[in-house]
Amino acid sequence: MSKALNLVIVGVGGQGTLLASRVLGSIAGQLGLDVKLSEVHGMSQRGGSVTTCVRMGETVHSPLVEQGGADFILAFEELEALRALPYLKKGGSVIVNTQQILPLPVIIGAEKYPEGILTRLRGECETIALDALPLATKAGNARAVNTVLLGRLAKSLPHEKALWHRALEETLPPRFLEANLKAFEAGYAL
Amino acid sequence: MKELLLGNEAIARGAWEAGATVSTAYPGTPSTEITEELAKFSEIYCEWSPNEKVALEVALGASMGGARAICCMKHVGVNVAADPLFTAAYTGVNGGLVLIAADDPGMHSSQNEQDSRFYARSAHVPMLEPSSSEECLLFTKKAFELSENYDSPVMLRLVTRIAHARSLVQPGQREETPLKPYEKNPRKYVMMPGFARGRHVAVEAREKRLLSEISALGLNKIEWNDPSLGVICSGSAYNYVKEALPAASVLKLGLVYPLDVELIKEFAQKVEKLVVVEELEPFFEEQIKALGLPVSGKEKTGLQGELFSRKLGQLFGAEAPAGPAETPNLPQRPPVLCPGCPHRAVFHVLRKMNFVVAADIGCYTLGALPPLNAVDSVVCMGASIGMAMGLEKARGRDFAQKTVSVIGDSTFVHSGITGLIDLVYNKGNSTVIIVDNSTTGMTGHQPNPTTGQDIHFRAAPQLSLERLCEAVGVQSVKVVDPFDLAALEGILKEETAKDGPSVVIARRPCALLSREKKPPLRVKAEACIRCGACLRIGCPAISMGQGGLSIDPALCVGCGLCAGLCPKSAIEGGTL
Ligand SMILES: Cc1ncc(C[n+]2csc(CCOP(=O)(O)OP(=O)(O)O)c2C)c(N)n1
């Protein structure tokens, strides 16, 4: 089961977590592995917390990554990274975009956005924090935050870069490809 | 080559391969993508029906007319379609008829977590349940075959984790199924008592025949392993069992109704301990207990929510891996009305006016959450108008003047119309607000009869809500732009004071669809007195931080609602 890889991708509805999971699905396809993705459609996509799971390996039964099961958590937002932390396996890593998106209970002053999230994460596991938005914007598409994060993930995984490029080509509409390839490289270079 | 398909996409693919030519549905999570996918196939007539009852009736008519037809809905949709379903079980089919029911254990996007398997049992229609996208495709094709072989509608049950999971599928070719001849056959299709009695006999006979041929169907299978624990399961539970209890012997049921009693008995005999692992109700467990077999399950797994591998492992004594501890009291992140959403304006006014609000199901249900807190009840699609009527009949005419119902355009057409007829006919006085955002927003912007577009977004006859309400007998029908807060408030004041029912159509397109993009607004820091008036509408783009009030330019769509509420005109840019 050494080829098995479990990822949890978390963020806020509308941030593009589904695209990231599909790129990973394509990676699994190219490696000839069994793969399952669990996606969120429906109500939570209206700005709620969203969790997408990606699992690949020889044989995958459940589409879900559960507590203590993730090799990586790819977080599009800090609070969501902290919320997802229990999914992480011992020795796993968190790749977190340092954006903070205030949830409504915080906006209206009913609750507080936690402080020191990165410190807390660093105390628990290998934490790779990056500010993906400016990198995505520089690459030509502010919505390519997901691809910057994937670029950083790719650096932590053994697969060849060509595999990732092909996965992006398979997954993205051609007109977005160029900016996303740049965004990927920006993440990879970190 | 294998493709990575959603369960829902695989169902659509299966129906296409099976030669289906008619597809009907009303949207509902987690079933919606099946029909959106089916609409891409040019060989299949597809429609969004006004509701699930109509959808099933159209599909049944298509089947009677000799076509293979598929009809898709979420679990609560089956409640709406239950009337035709129970009698379609009697008429049986001509072309194959498959009904997809998508359950939502854990209520990711639903108002309850009812278990559709009971429908199959009480209507006496066979039901299949897939565990993967591959099975979604294969079982859909199989369902059409069974439907024609046994002259019965066939149900296929999904749960969210199958419908919305992607896994590898080997797609095949489409096999055209020629239209079957149509013959008038009142004894089969006119269900009045004399004929229906005959059909009830047929229902029982076909179920017996199916049971006698059940092992040849190849839908149920035993995976022998260590006989000390034998697990009976289906669907998503099968995946969790394989993951959590890899050593156990497993009887996987692909046909969840009727049950393969002989196979279950054989399995029970050969294992030392027999358990059922199923989400929601003890559907298998109770039937197996009734066979006199010693079995357990629900005492461990419970009736609520989803199961998951880890929980299952723990219940059966496996060591569960642990991750870092959960951080207590993290702020929740519930779904919210989008920036620029026209519903926000309506709820702002309703809360200000302190109305009792019987609301309905759609994006506008979110008006119940803080800070709007403007909603008193939400039950099921269409319930709002009847609930307001009941409140009036219980508490009197004066109470009706403080009560409004709020219902979306799609929901009104789905099942609000009959409530409005009741309000008129039985002399109610409350005011109905139709929040018309010109789309079926909650489920992902499907067109509906009020939008003037069909499922392919091509022009279609447009239902006029105003004329419909007038035709029903409502004397006072008003149309207002909800962003004109003063007008909305004025109209509501007038209409609720009037005798007799009123309808107020609050019309403004969904912010996600509207083409006019306005520049984001800005806060004039020197003018802001931090009173918080703008925060009380719950817009995710506005927040109060250490440095004062700010508007996130990435989120703000410049709708101007907040600017209109500011007593110091401290929010600038954008106009109403
Ligand atoms: C019987 C039933 N069918 C389908 C659904 C799923 N569903 C919930 S709300 C909704 C439609 C909402 O559209 P609309 O009333 O126009 O309001 P909007 O979301 O656009 O504000 C649907 C299809 C349901 N809850 N119950």
Q: What is the pLDDT of residues B130-145, one digit of tens each?
A: 999 999 999 999 999 9
Tell whether the torsion through CA atoms of B211, B215, B217 and B221 is positive or negative: positive
Task: Please tell me the predicted confidence (pLDDT) of residue B547.
Answer: 85
Q: Which residues pair with B502 in a beta bridge?
A: B431, B476
Q: Which two tokens stand for residue B488?
A: 């909305």
- Supply the CATH classification number for the domain B522-572: 3.30.70.20
- pLDDT-derived band of residue B573, with 50, 70 and 90 as boundaries? confident
User: What tens digit of pLDDT does each residue of A136-173 get?
Assistant: 999 999 999 999 999 999 999 999 999 999 999 999 99
Task: Give SS3 for A47.
Answer: coil
pLDDT on residue A13: 86
Q: Which residues contact B190 (CB under 8 A, 6 or more apart)?
A: none
CB contact under 8 A, B166 and A102: no
Rounded mean pLDDT of B525-544? 93
Domain B217-323, CATH among 3.40.50.720, 3.40.50.920, 3.40.50.1820, 3.30.360.10: 3.40.50.920
**Which residues, at least 6 apart from B296, have a Cβ–Cβ distance to it below 8 Å?**
B274, B275, B276, B285
Nearest CA in chain B to A133: B554
Mean confidence (pLDDT) of chain B: 96
Could you tell me the CA-to-CA distances from B14 to B62, B64, B218 in Å, in that order? 18, 21, 17
Q: Are A55 and A35 in contact (CB under 8 A)?
A: yes
Q: What is the C-alpha to C-alpha distance for residues B121 and B104, in angstroms, rounded to an integer? A: 19
Calculate how far, in angstroms, residue B18's C-alpha sits from the geometric centre of ligand 1. 30
Residues 6+ apart with CB under 8 A from B263: B214, B215, B220, B222, B251
Cβ of A79 within 8 Å of Cβ of B333? The answer is: yes
Q: Which has more confidence, A41 or A104?
A: A104
Average pLDDT of B324-344?
95
Q: Tell me the CA–centroid distance for residue B453 and ligand 1, in Å.
A: 17
User: What is residue B151's predicted lDDT score, i.e. its pLDDT?
Assistant: 98
Round to whole Å and give the CA distance between B398 and A69: 58
CB of B25 closer than 8 Å to CB of B73 = yes
Residue A145 phi, psi dihedral angles, 5° rounding: -50, -40
The closest alpha carbon to B198, from B180, B211, B185, belongs to B185
Q: Which of A62, A67, A82 sits opposite B327 (nearest CB)?
A: A82
Give the Cα separation of B140 and B23 in Å (integer): 13
| Residues B51/B178, Cβ–Cβ less than 8 Å | no
Q: Is residue A56 part of a domain?
A: yes
Per-residue pLDDT averaged across B64-74, rounded?
A: 98
Percent of all residues in chain B with a pLDDT value above 90, rounded to a whole number: 95
Number of domains in chain A: 1
From the list A49, A61, A89, the residue facing B239 with the nearest CB is A61
Report the half-sphere exposure of B94 (CA within 13 A, side-chain side): 19
Predicted ipTM of the assembly? 0.95
pLDDT, averaged across chain A: 94
Q: How does residue B574 score in pLDDT terms, banded at 50, 70 and 90?
A: low
Domain B342-507 classified CATH 3.40.50.970?
A: yes
Within-domain flag for A154: no
Query: Stretch B249-257: mean pLDDT, rounded?
Result: 98
Q: Determine the Cα–Cα distance for residues B345 and B553; give it in Å rounded to an integer.
A: 20
User: Given a cut of 50, is residue A99 above it in pLDDT?
Assistant: yes
On the question of pLDDT at B515 being above 80, the answer is: no
Token pair 């925060």 is found at B535
Local confidence band at B321 (pLDDT 50, 70, 90 cut-offs)? confident
Residue whose C-alpha is closest to residue B32's, from B75, B64, B72: B72
∠B336-B378-B280 over CA atoms, to 5°? 90
Domain boundaries, chain B: 3-212, 217-323, 342-507, 522-572
- Beta strands A49-57; A5-12: pairing state: antiparallel
Has residue A44 got a pLDDT over 80? Answer: no
Determine contact: A64 vs chain B, CB below 8 A: yes
User: Is position A69 within any domain?
Assistant: yes
Surface of A (124-183) touching B: CB under 8 A: 124-125, 142
* Closest listed residue to residue B138, CA positions, set B238, B20, B11, B24: B11
Q: Is the confidence at residue B539, as pLDDT, over 80?
A: yes
Residue A182 forms part of a structural domain: no
Which residues from B are below 8 Å from A65, CB to CB?
none
Residue nearest to atom 21 of ligand 1 (CA): B363
Could you say which DSSP state residue B258 is in? S
Q: Which of residues 16-45 of B touch A (CB under 8 A)?
A: 29-30, 32-33
Whether residue A1 has pLDDT greater than 50: no
Task: Mutation target for A interface from B330, B347, B373: give the one with most A CBs within 10 A.
Answer: B330
Alpha-carbon distance of B383 to B396, in angstroms, equals 19
Q: Roughly how many angstroms between the first and final C-alpha of chain A, as a whole number?
A: 29
Whether A186 is in a domain gets the answer: no
The whole-angstrom separation of Cα A132 and Cα A144 is 9
Q: How confident is the model at residue A108 (pLDDT cuts 50, 70, 90)?
A: confident
Separation of B385 CA from ligand 1 center, angstroms? Answer: 15
Residue A2: its pLDDT value, please?
52
Superfamily of domain B3-212: Thiamin diphosphate (ThDP)-binding fold, Pyr/PP domains (3.40.50.970)
Please give the sequence-ordered ranges of beta strands (E in DSSP) within A31-155, or none if there are none. 34-38, 49-57, 70-75, 88-97, 126-130
B361: phi then psi, degrees, rounded to nearest 5: -105, 130
What is the model's pLDDT at position B514? 82
Residue in A with minimal Cα distance to B1: A29
Match 């003047």 to its residue by tokens.
B401
| Chain A environment of B520 (Cβ under 8 Å) | none
Task: Give the residue from A18, A123, A140, A128 showing the smallest Cα distance to A73.
Answer: A128
Q: What is the pLDDT of residues B200-212, one digit of tens each?
A: 999 999 999 999 9
The reported pLDDT for the residue numbered B576 is 46
Structure tokens at B303: 């009736």
Contact with chain A for residue B158, Cβ under 8 A: no
Q: Is A61 on the interface with B (CB under 8 A)?
A: yes
Helix and strand counts by DSSP (H, E) for chain A? 8, 6
Residues from chain B that touch A40, judged by Cβ atoms under 8 A, are 108, 164
What does residue A5 show for φ and ψ, rounded to 5 degrees?
A: -145, 130
Domain with residue A20: its CATH number is 3.40.920.10
Provide the Cα torsion B461, B463, B468, B471; round to 10°. 0
Of B344, B411, B412, B432, the one to substitute when testing ligand 1's pocket (max ligand atoms within 8 A of C-beta) is B411
- Whether B327 and chain A come into contact, CB under 8 Å, resolves to yes
d(CA B250, CA B246): 9
A184 in any annotated domain: no
Residue B355, pLDDT > 60, answer yes
SS3 call for A97:
strand
Say if A72 falls within a structural domain. yes
Q: Is B180 helix (H, G, I), strand (E, B) or coil?
A: coil
Mean pLDDT of B414-419: 98
Q: Which two tokens stand for residue B456?
A: 């392919």
Q: Judge whether residue A117 has pLDDT over 90.
A: yes
Tokens of B377: 């009840």
Domains B3-212 and B522-572 share a fold: no
Whether the pLDDT of residue A43 is over 80: the answer is no
